[in-house]
Amino acid sequence: MNDKFCYFPLIRTRDSELRCFEHLENDVLSCTLPVYELTRSRKTTKDPDGAISKVMERISNIQKNLPFILDLTASELYTNAQIKDLLDPNNGYSEWQRFVFNTYKDLNIIPVIHVNEDRTQTDYSQLCDFVLTSPTKNKLFAIRIPIDLPPTEITYLFEKLQAALTQVGAKVIVLMDAGFVGKNISVTVELFTGFSKVLDKYAASIYKKVMLCTSFPKNVAQGRNEHEDSFRIYEEEIYQKVKNLVADIGYGDYCSINTEQIERAGGGFIPRIDVASTDGNSFSYKRYRQSEGGYVRCAKRTIEDTRCYTDLKTWADEKIQEASAGKPYRLNPSSWIAVRMNYYIKTRVLLRKTN
């Protein structure tokens, strides 16, 4: 892997997120190293468990030969028996090894080294065994760690991990995950910089340090204008402050998804179109009930609002244009989450390239 990657987005592999990535342009994908948090596929009568093979097929069609980081969900909403088996730490996470290095050996996967929630010395021993017993051709791993992990535990973990990585001549991408963050960005900046400082001692084994967070609200319109408004997002501001304090920090986020957001496919929703500002600091939305014009009116108002919307020539722009002409792309929130993400990702790549 080279250093061409400027954006490290984390996505759960639900339908809306995958649909977004299926419509990213090649020049965007080529400089993006996504972190796929593997979830079950949509449950059906023929597939009540939601087989993860369906998700992996979609990821394969998106990434082709491009590298990507593969993680596993711990959310009870999106897991199944297959994923739980892959998280079994026994024998150095042997099931995870078979999945990554045998079943999907033809994909360019950077596997996540798993840290169990009930972190113990035994867990760290199995974690190191995963590194030590992986195929020798694998020289790059990733590890995703919550940003509030105590410094003493970070130190203990990386003492063990560095010894294993050194033994096999491998390195690790460290995903420093803050999850959802509020507007008190100084606290988040302090956590990222403090975490990074602890990691400085292990620089020889670290390929890249990447920040991850999201401030996208669970309820966009709460406390705001019902139909049209803007709101701040803080990922970009946090990144700009952190990168002034931490050398060579990678930028990652949740692609405009709240950590608790649940995909809704039924009725009871109000059509809404969101677009990110090109400076990376805010979102604007248009929100109208079906009786008030629905997605058609949302799209027309989005295009008319030239202060907030710029045509970036993406798949998302095409869908907004089609809707404004009276032919909206599907009438469910999931599809328009994909549109929002698609536009958002393009703004992030453009920001990183200009920076």
Q: How far is CA 47 from the centre of its chain?
A: 26
Q: Rounded to two decimals, what is the model's pTM?
A: 0.95
**For residue range 186-216, what is the model confidence (pLDDT) as tens digits?**
999 999 999 999 999 999 999 999 999 999 9
Separation between Cα atoms, residue 188 and residue 26, nearest integer Å: 33
Where do the domains of the chain lie, and which CATH numbers do they carry? 10-264 (3.20.20)
**Average pLDDT of the chain, as a whole number:** 92
Amino acid at 266: G
pLDDT digits (tens, 9 = 90+) for 222-266: 878 999 999 999 999 999 999 999 988 999 999 999 998 655 545
- State both tokens at 22: 């299926």
Residue 68: pLDDT band (50, 70, 90) is very high
pLDDT for res 116 = 73
Strands of 54-203, DSSP E: 68-72, 109-111, 140-146, 171-180
Q: What's 114's DSSP letter?
A: P
Contact 347, 278 (CB under 8 A): yes
- Band of residue 8 on the pLDDT scale cut at 50, 70, 90: very high
Task: Name the DSSP class of 329.
Answer: S
| 3-state per-residue secondary structure call for 257-310 | CCCCCCCCCCCCCCCEEEEECCCCCEEEEEECCHHHCHHHHHHHHHHHCCCCCC
- Whether the pLDDT of residue 315 is over 60: the answer is yes
DSSP-derived letter for residue 102 is I
pLDDT for res 42: 84
> Are the CB atoms for 16 and 261 separated by under 8 Å?
no
Alpha carbons 296 and 300: distance in angstroms, whole number: 6
Question: Given a cut of 70, is residue 2 above it in pLDDT?
Answer: no
